[in-house]
């Protein structure tokens, strides 16, 4: 039982794929760009505990501009450690070491380690868990410490973090003298569980378990909800609240309206929800692996909650791009089926971090229940909502990923954000993405590899003391469905492979060499199972996933989005004004039908260096009634579509749209595509 942030080291990317190109860009460009941002904004030095002018800025409440700086630094360290092992860079190495020195120096005698509450409000530690990201920042320090420990193989960051965990553990819990708090922004829970797995720390596991169990307790502290209690302790009225709280006490914003196991719909801030559920799933993983058994009843109630919340999210609250969160105010979920494409239709947030966190959750869910649906969603997020959030040159980013631009919110990127969670999150994701491709190990009476993502890469892992298995895959994914596999091992071992057949392939694949009795190969819950009898006879084989023809996707009819989006394989497409330069109204009136002809064109964009498949089709600009009489007339249009991830890389006027008006009554494949009845 391990985590992608640990196992990624077993995987080497080989050959040039879309994924390896992005990784190379992050390694060669993004890490340095982000380091420069850390330096120029004051973040790099923040652990020196000197006063920074921005600390005087009181215009925001309760969260000041600098509150997440600790985490920005920590996430960059984490990402750098992932890349250093594969592509050493002395400058980055030195920066990590200097940062770690500063962090060590910032730790207080008792172990406390937080910039804001050491420098700006030193008397107010732990006074506002709901809003002040104190435990969130701690979580990212813990994640950084794990990455640092595994790369540097020393305790320079692990040691202070361990001390900090002990301090936190001492304060929070159910024992006498402890208070019953938990973070407003979950993150530390998943960090603690990974830390516990890597280091064996019981304290970390117990603290995470406590945070997850206590959350949403209506009378945890002195008979009160913890957040009510701490509000009273601060002497604040409950009517005084952050702008992200639409009304008073809307604790669903941080998933604390009910104990987790009683929640049935996924609510509030979407990154918080996903980080939280990732930890819950990991709790179940740790139980299933025998490391930390939960007991049958407890396991059941946690997995029930996971299933309900996951299904609610995917079936009713996710965009076709893998984006989640329709509402800007709380950066989170709207009601079921409320999925407007952009600001002028009622919202669309689809934060980069949220989809990264969906990937993290999906990866954990694959361990709880090996079901290709989780792999499908993981891949959907990766190639669409996540990949779209960085420019092809690795230097510009999006935080919000709308499906349609508007005059108010154009399709464009930024160098950085005051709340800079997304850019370094991309860095650490791409750094550890190898760990998401597959999981594997001894088992199934020999060895197994469950392949979740296709690319060109190889993985090696030990089976017993003296044997090691190596699986190599080579493909032009996501453009073509053919993947060549090469399996080898030091000594013979019965190896079972499970290869994901995405739902959009509708079970259609070809394998070569064919199995002696082809019917003996089965797809189970989205995975084609190659038993040892096949793999031993065919250590080299190729799989071809079929059904790469462009297809139309529709959001669920209850979303009131009578639109069609184009997809090809895992890639969702959009139209941009750079290719369709007659457009002036954000493609709001562009209408297509499912029977219009689609052609493909392989493109090499010289400016960006990107190769991709563009799609061409046609439709028309619908005539829209002008109130006050009259109507624009309808105009036929040739349309060029590019991958959504590729948007906003080539200039233009920032006009873009994924779902175009459906001019007919027939709808496409209703999203989400599921390959089987679950």
Which residues contact a copy of itself by CB under 8 A? Answer: 61-62, 237, 239-243, 246-248, 311, 314-316, 329, 334-338, 340, 344-346, 556-558, 560-562, 588, 622, 624-625, 627-630, 661, 663-665, 670, 672, 674, 676-678
Neighbours of 413 (CB within 10 A): 17
Produce one character per residue of 254-272: b if its CB has 16 or more CB atoms within 10 Å, e if not: bbbbbbbbebeebbbbbbb
Structure tokens at 670: 């209703």
Please state the closest distance from residue 589 (CB atom) to a copy of itself, in A.
8
Which residues are CB-contacts of 424 (< 8 A; sequence separation ≥ 6)? 34, 72, 75, 76, 78, 79
Distance from first CA to last CA of the chain, Å, rounded? 25
Please state the closest distance from residue 345 (CB atom) to a copy of itself, in A.
6
Please state the closest distance from residue 622 (CB atom) to a copy of itself, in A.
7
Cβ proximity to a copy of itself: between 348 and 511 the closer is 348
Phi, psi of 546 (to 5 degrees): -95, 180
Q: By three-state DSSP, how is residue 471 classified? A: strand
Contact 100, 168 (CB under 8 A): no
Please state the closest distance from residue 10 (CB atom) to a copy of itself, in A.
34
Cβ proximity to a copy of itself: between 448 and 671 the closer is 671
Please state the closest distance from residue 554 (CB atom) to a copy of itself, in A.
9
Contact 73, 148 (CB under 8 A): no
Q: By three-state DSSP, how is residue 1 classified? A: coil
Compute the distance between CA of residue 113 and CA of residue 139 in angstroms, rounded to an integer. 11
Please state the closest distance from residue 410 (CB atom) to a copy of itself, in A.
17
Please state the closest distance from residue 568 (CB atom) to a copy of itself, in A.
21
Cβ proximity to a copy of itself: between 280 and 661 the closer is 661
User: Minimal CA–CA distance to 260: which of 280, 288, 274?
Assistant: 280
Cβ proximity to a copy of itself: between 15 and 246 the closer is 246
Cβ proximity to a copy of itself: between 236 and 540 the closer is 236
**Sheet containing strand 540-545, strands side by side:** 11-13, 457-463, 467-475, 482-489, 540-545, 509-512
Contact 642, 660 (CB under 8 A): no
Cβ proximity to a copy of itself: between 94 and 335 the closer is 335
Please state the closest distance from residue 415 (CB atom) to a copy of itself, in A.
27
Please state the closest distance from residue 665 (CB atom) to a copy of itself, in A.
6
Compute the distance between CA of residue 499 and CA of residue 524 in angstroms, rounded to an integer. 10
Cβ proximity to a copy of itself: between 243 and 601 the closer is 243
Contact 10, 4 (CB under 8 A): no
Please state the closest distance from residue 341 (CB atom) to a copy of itself, in A.
9
Contact 64, 55 (CB under 8 A): yes
Please state the closest distance from residue 344 (CB atom) to a copy of itself, in A.
7
Strands 495-500 and 446-451: parallel
Please state the closest distance from residue 628 (CB atom) to a copy of itself, in A.
4
Structure tokens at 525: 């819950």
Cβ proximity to a copy of itself: between 464 and 678 the closer is 678
Structure tokens at 123: 């008397």
Please state the closest distance from residue 314 (CB atom) to a copy of itself, in A.
8
Cβ proximity to a copy of itself: between 14 and 623 the closer is 623
Cβ proximity to a copy of itself: between 389 and 561 the closer is 561
Cβ proximity to a copy of itself: between 599 and 626 the closer is 626
Contact 280, 297 (CB under 8 A): no
Please state the closest distance from residue 218 (CB atom) to a copy of itself, in A.
17
* Omega prior to 551 cis, within 30 of 0: no
Cβ proximity to a copy of itself: between 155 and 236 the closer is 236
Compute the distance between CA of residue 313 and CA of residue 170 in angstroms, rounded to an integer. 35
Q: How far is CA 65 from the centre of its chain?
A: 24
Question: What sign does the CA torsion over 395, 398, 404, 405 have?
Answer: negative
Cβ proximity to a copy of itself: between 585 and 611 the closer is 585
Cβ proximity to a copy of itself: between 599 and 677 the closer is 677
Q: By three-state DSSP, how is residue 631 classified? A: strand
User: Minimal CA–CA distance to 272: which of 399, 130, 145?
Assistant: 130
Which residues are CB-contacts of 398 (< 8 A; sequence separation ≥ 6)? 352, 388, 389, 390, 412, 413, 414, 422, 648
Long-range contacts of 516-521 (CB under 8 A, 24+ apart): none
Contact 612, 638 (CB under 8 A): no
Phi, psi of 541 (to 5 degrees): -155, 170
């Amino acid at each position: 039982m391990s985590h992608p942030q640990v196992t990624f080291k077993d995987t080497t990317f080989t050959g040039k794929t879309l994924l390896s190109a992005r990784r190379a860009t992050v390694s060669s460009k993004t890490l340095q760009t982000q380091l420069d941002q850390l330096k120029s904004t004051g973040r790099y030095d923040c652990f020196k505990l000197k006063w920074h002018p921005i600390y005087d800025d009181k215009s925001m409440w309760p969260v000041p501009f600098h509150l997440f700086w600790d985490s920005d630094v920590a996430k960059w360290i984490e990402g750098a450690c992932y890349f250093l092992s594969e592509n050493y860079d002395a400058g980055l190495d030195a920066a990590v070491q200097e940062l770690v020195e500063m962090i060590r120096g910032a730790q207080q005698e008792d172990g406390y380690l937080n910039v804001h509450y050491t420098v700006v409000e030193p008397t107010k530690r732990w006074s506002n868990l709901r809003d002040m990201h104190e435990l969130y920042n701690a979580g990212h320090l813990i994640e950084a410490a794990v990455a640092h420990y595994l790369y540097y193989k020393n305790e320079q960051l692990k040691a202070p973090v361990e001390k900090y965990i002990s301090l936190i553990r001492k304060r929070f819990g159910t024992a006498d003298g402890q208070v019953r708090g938990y973070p407003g922004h979950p993150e530390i829970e998943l960090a603690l569980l990974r830390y516990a797995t890597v280091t064996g720390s019981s304290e970390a596991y117990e603290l995470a378990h406590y945070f997850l169990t206590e959350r949403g307790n209506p009378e945890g502290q002195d008979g009160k909800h913890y957040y009510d209690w701490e509000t009273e302790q601060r002497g604040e009225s409950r009517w005084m609240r952050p702008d992200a709280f639409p009304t008073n006490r809307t604790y669903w914003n941080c998933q604390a309206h009910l104990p987790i196991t009683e929640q049935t719909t996924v609510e509030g801030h979407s990154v918080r929800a996903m980080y939280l559920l990732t930890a819950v799933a990991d709790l179940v993983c740790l139980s299933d692996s025998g490391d930390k058994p939960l007991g049958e009843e407890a396991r059941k109630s946690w997995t029930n909650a996971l299933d309900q919340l996951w299904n609610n999210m995917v079936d009713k609250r996710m965009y076709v791009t893998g984006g989640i969160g329709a509402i800007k105010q709380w950066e989170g979920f709207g009601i079921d089926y409320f999925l407007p494409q952009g600001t002028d239709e009622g919202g669309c947030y689809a934060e980069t971090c949220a989809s990264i966190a969906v990937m993290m959750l999906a990866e954990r869910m694959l361990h709880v229940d090996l079901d290709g649906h989780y792999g499908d969603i993981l891949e959907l997020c990766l190639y669409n909502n996540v990949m779209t959030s960085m420019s092809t040159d690795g230097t510009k980013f999006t935080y919000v990923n709308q499906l349609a631009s508007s005059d108010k919110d154009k399709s464009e990127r930024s160098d950085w954000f005051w709340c800079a969670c997304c850019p370094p999150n991309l860095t650490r994701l791409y750094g550890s993405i190898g760990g998401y491709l597959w999981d594997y190990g001894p088992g199934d009476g020999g060895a197994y590899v469950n392949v979740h993502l296709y690319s060109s890469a190889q993985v090696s892992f030990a089976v017993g003391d003296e044997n090691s298995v190596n699986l190599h895959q080579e493909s032009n994914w996501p453009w073509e469905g053919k993947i060549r596999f090469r399996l080898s091992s030091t000594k013979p071992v019965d190896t079972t492979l499970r290869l994901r057949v995405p739902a959009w392939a509708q079970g259609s694949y070809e394998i070569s060499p064919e199995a002696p009795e082809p019917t003996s190969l089965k797809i189970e819950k989205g995975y084609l199972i190659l038993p040892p009898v096949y793999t031993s006879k065919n250590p080299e084989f190729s799989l071809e996933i079929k059904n790469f023809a462009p297809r139309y996707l529709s959001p669920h009819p209850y979303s009131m989005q009578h639109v069609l989006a184009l997809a090809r394989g895992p890639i969702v497409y959009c139209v941009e004004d750079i290719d369709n330069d007659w457009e002036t109204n954000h493609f709001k009136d562009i209408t297509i039908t499912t029977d219009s002809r689609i052609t493909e064109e392989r493109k090499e964009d010289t400016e960006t260096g990107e190769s991709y498949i563009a799609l061409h089709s046609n439709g028309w600009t619908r005539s829209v009634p002008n109130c006050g009489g009259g109507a624009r007339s309808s105009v036929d249009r040739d349309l060029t579509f590019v991958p959504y991830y590729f948007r906003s890389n080539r200039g233009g006027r920032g006009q873009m749209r994924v779902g175009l008006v459906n001019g007919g009554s027939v709808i496409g494949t209703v999203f989400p595509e599921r390959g089987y009845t679950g």
